[in-house]
Every structure is written in structure tokens, then in C-alpha cells.
Structure 1
Amino acid sequence: MIFTLYGDYISHYGNEIWIGSLIRLLKEFGHNEQSVRAAISRMNKQGWVKARRKGNKSFYYLTDRGIRRIEEAANRIFKLQQDDWDGQWRMLMYTIPEEKRNIRDELRKELVWSGFGSLSTSTWISPNKLEDQVKSMIDKYEIEPYIHFFVAKYEGPNTNQQLVSECWDLEEINSRYEEFISEYSQKYIIDRNKIEKGEMSDGDCFVERTKLIHEYRKFLFVDPGLPEQLLPDKWLGDHAASLFSDYYKSLAQPASRFFEEVFQEGNELKKRDVSYDALHHPLIIEQKS
């Protein structure tokens, strides 16, 4: 939830927040001060955020590593159309020794999150251009001696679709999209009508927008973002993305008003990115243009 707040709000307001404001924001979701302080402390130890003291106040800001993760997530969350495929597969193979198995386990999680699928125990593939992500992972875990990375065309004897079926359960992913659409299409209609009638407070919109982002970003851990050429005919990912976008934008302005109301106490609103427009998110606009 804290990652969601950084990605959708704090990163546009100087990338830093007073712990008191963070506690106040998360109180809207039923989290108490102790749980918030424990969570931000874990993120600090894991290298996602750093603390800065000013007088008797503690401020937390995203590290470079945290910023990269937020930017990568945003580009995937707000992408409404799949990229065109160049017909090439990115293949990563590793032979990480047993004494480094903790690194191996972390690498697997990163590979799944980035959109790779497991073809065999230590062979991972993706049709997407993930060269930058691979380089970042190699540098992060210092595993250059144990990695081989290829960009190649599949020459059979089976089809590219067969490769996909061996690496990802698209039927299961589609089923999860169906559940998301079923639940949130109804919520979207109800909340949109409430907003139009003035029956939904800015705080309520803040909570619902944050929950929406938090729920939708879970697809980053299951949907590899395959190009259209490799997807089944009745793929629901695009429908879910459009629903998400419409619902998100209906909540955007009142949610941002609430955030600013809380943020201005203890933080500097002047750090707000002047190019940021919550209603017309730049990543959404770029994909539609």
C-alpha cells in the first residue's frame, strides 16, 4: 500500500513525505501508527526508501532503486495497448551455485515480476524487450559470471503459442481478469453516480482510487504483458485495462484534493511537479496518442 502511495501520489510531490502525513493517509485504510512505522522501517532496511531528519521530524523518500521500480510498474499499469512484437525471444539462463541460493530465489521473483516465464528450471524467456531489466538484475545481484542472455528467434519444431502455454497459464490469468471486471465494473458505475451527485467525499475517493491501484497492480505479478500476437482471441486484459483507466480518472481529482489537504501539513506543496495532471495521467495519454 505504501508503494502504491509513492507511485500514485508522493512521487509527484517531491518524492518525499513526513512520516506523520503518511500515518494520517494510511489511517483512512484502518492502519494504525505502529503498523505504518513498522512497514516503512522494513522498506528502509530493504533499500526502497531512505530517511531524512529535519528538526524532530522524519521524512522518507524513495531511493534510486525504489524510483526505478515505481517507474517500471507505472509504465506497465497505465499501458492500455500491448507493444508490437519483433518476433524475437529474450532468453536468460543461469547456473547460480547453491551457496548463493538466496540470491537465486530473489532473482526468480524479479524475473516473474518483469514478465519472464520459466521454460525449465534455470531457463527463462520473454517476447518483450527486457534487456535493460536484465542488465539491472545482473548488476544488482552481482551475478555476471553465472548468467547467459540471448535474443533469438524460435525455429520450432512447435509454435510460439506452444512456448507461451508452457511458460504461462493464460487461462488462469484471463479468469482473474474476469473477476476484476465483474467486481469493478459494478463499483465503477456506483461510484461514478455518487461522485456526480456529490454523495462521495474526497477522502472516500482517495481510498477507492488507492485500493483500485493496489488491486490492479497485482496483475504485474501474474500477467507477463505478452504482445497481442501471442494472446488468445478472447483476452480480457485489454477490457480490464480500459475499465481501470476509466474508473481511475473518475476518482482522480477528488482523491488528489484529499491527498494535498493532508500533505500540506508538514510537507511543501511547492515541490509538486507542475506537469503532473491526475485527471489525464501522462502514461495513459501517451498510449492513446
Structure 2
Amino acid sequence: MKPQSMLFTIYGEYVRHYGSEIWIGSLTKLMGEFGLSEPAVRAAISRMLRQGWLESRKVGNRSFYSLSERGRKRMEEAAERIYKVETGRWDGKWCMVSYNIPEERRALRDQLRKELGWMGFGMLTTSTWISPNNLNERIRELTEVQEITEYVEIFSAEHTGWSNPKQLVQKCWNIEEINAKYKEFIDVYRAEYEELAESIRQGKEVPDSLCFVNKTKLVHQYRKFLFIDPDLPEELLPELWLGKEADQLFQDYYRLLNPGAVRFFETVYEAAPV
């Protein structure tokens, strides 16, 4: 597990619910539960500061780190998708983004592609990406922040030919690969969940530290689907789709682990004095 990626999980799953700020000592202790050293944690925090995800402040001789505005928005977006609720029927419209960013601004073009992938867009052609979800306002905000509005056009479009909607999905996303990743997730965590559920039924004591580690790893692994699953509406999903089974397993296992995980976090967490 990469330290920076794990820090995103710790902040998104725990710290953001406690004022979004935490003492570095608490962070290193929490990360130590996963075998990550203090130097590795500090290096990852430095990278996140440079990238604008975190902000820091000193209180006496102690350092505290909080989510920046950018970091809070990203965590909220991630939580909205991880803990999603069922949506209504698809209206048949596609959100389409087309861009023509000059070569001298290549870094911005690469960043835009990463953000489009994160949001769940699929690449129809090299510079045209689509999503069946209404993400127009998110794209407007993103392109304004990146100051690339002159190079980008946004459409709410109706597809009239020639592929049918499911064929279009197959062109823009690797559905088989996503299904295979969901199967891997189910194969790993089904056994873990059933073993823990059986222990609890038998009245065995489950350490809070174990709940913290297992829940954090669960969220950490499930969070990876944000980068590959486009969150397609029911009408566009293939007949064999393992995303729903994986989501149900995630929710069941999460509920089992959450109380102990939160108790452990609270014993370690230390915020800045008021």
C-alpha cells in the first residue's frame, strides 16, 4: 500500500468527520498499523502539501495537518460515489466533453484527462469523452479552475447512431476488465467477512485495532473502483455485472467493522487545542 494513497483513505474515512485536521503523531501511529514508517508518512504528507491536498499549521512545537478546500471537495465527491444510493431511470442523455488544448499546455491536458477518468468519463475519441451521468456543472467548475475554458466545449447530447447504448459503453469502457476486478474483490473479502461474522455470532472478542485495520483496507481497496467504474445507470449495465454484488458485500462488511474501527481511531486521534 502506497503511503499517500493510504493517507487519502484515512482522511476521507475518518479525519474529515473530525474537523478535517489531525496531529502528525496521531497520523503516524494510525499509519503504523499498516507497517508504514514515520519517514514514509512524513514524505507522503509533504507531497500532499505540495499538490494542494493538505494544509499545515503549528501549535507550539506540534504540527497539525488539515484537508485543503480542494482536498475536502475531492473527499466529498469520493464519499458520494462510494456510499451511493440508487438513482432514478436514465434520461438517455450523454454528457460530452470535447477539448483541443495546445501542446505547450500539455500538462493541463494530461491533468484534464485524469480528472475526466476520475469522474467516470469514457474516451470516445482521443479528445472527446462521454458519460451517461449529468456532470455538466462539475466540468464547468473544473475547466474554470484550470483556466482552460477557451479550449473545452461541453454538451448535453442525444446519441442517434449507429451503435446502440450498450455497444457505445463497450467502446468507451473496458467492462470485462472492471467485472474481473470486482470478482477479485469479492473473492478476497467474502471469506474475510464470513469469518468475522461467524466469530461475532460465536461471541468471540474482536479487537478494535483489527476492525480499524480491516475496515481501512476494505475502503482502501473499494476506493480504487472510483478510478475504473464509470457508475453506469442500470439500463447500460451488461447482463453479468458483479458491481452490485461487490457493493452489497462492501456495505455488509463495513457495517460489521465500523463501530470498532471508529473506537480505535478515537483513542489515537488528537486534534489541535482550541
Partner of 1:114: 119
- For 1:65, the aligned partner's letter is R
3-state DSSP class of the match of 1:224?
Answer: coil
Match of residue 210, structure 1, among 205, 209, 216: 216
**For 2:109 and 2:66, how far apart are their aligned partners in 1?**
28
After superposition, give the CA deviation of every residue in 1:214-252 in whole Å (9 maximum; x if it has no partner). Answer: 000000111000100000112111111010000001000
Partner of 1:53: 58
3-state DSSP class of the match of 2:240?
Answer: coil
**Is 2:32 aligned against 1:27?**
yes
Partner of 1:18: 23
Query: Deviation of residue 47 (structure 1)?
Result: 0.3
Unaligned runs of at least 5 residues, structure 1: 272-289
**Is 2:201 aligned against 1:230?**
no
Equivalent residues in 2 for 1:1-289 (5 A)? 1-196=6-201, 197-263=203-269, 266-267=270-271
**For 2:133 and 2:29, how far apart are their aligned partners in 1?**
40
Contact 1:83 1:228 in 2 (8 A): no
Contact 1:119 1:166 in 2 (8 A): yes
Q: How many residues align?
A: 268
**Which stretch has the larger CA shift, 4-13 or 194-203?**
194-203
3-state DSSP class of the match of 1:233?
Answer: coil
Q: CA RMSD in A?
A: 1.5
3-state DSSP class of the match of 1:149?
Answer: strand
After superposition, give the CA deviation of every residue in 1:135-155 in whole Å (9 maximum; x if it has no partner). Answer: 222022110110011001101
Identity of aligned residues (%): 53
**For 2:215 and 2:87, how far apart are their aligned partners in 1?**
24
TM-score (norm 1): 0.90
Query: Deviation of residue 268 (structure 1)?
Result: 6.2
**For 2:236 and 2:57, how far apart are their aligned partners in 1?**
47
- For 1:61, the aligned partner's letter is S
Contact 2:21 2:272 in 1 (8 A): no
Unaligned runs of at least 5 residues, structure 2: 1-5
**For 2:28 and 2:183, how far apart are their aligned partners in 1?**
34
Moved over 2 A (4+): 80-84, 192-200, 266-269
Contact 2:96 2:156 in 1 (8 A): yes
Contact 2:96 2:131 in 1 (8 A): yes
TM-score (norm 2): 0.94
Partner of 1:277: none
After superposition, give the CA deviation of every residue in 1:185-219 in whole Å (9 maximum; x if it has no partner). Answer: 11101122334433421001100000000000000
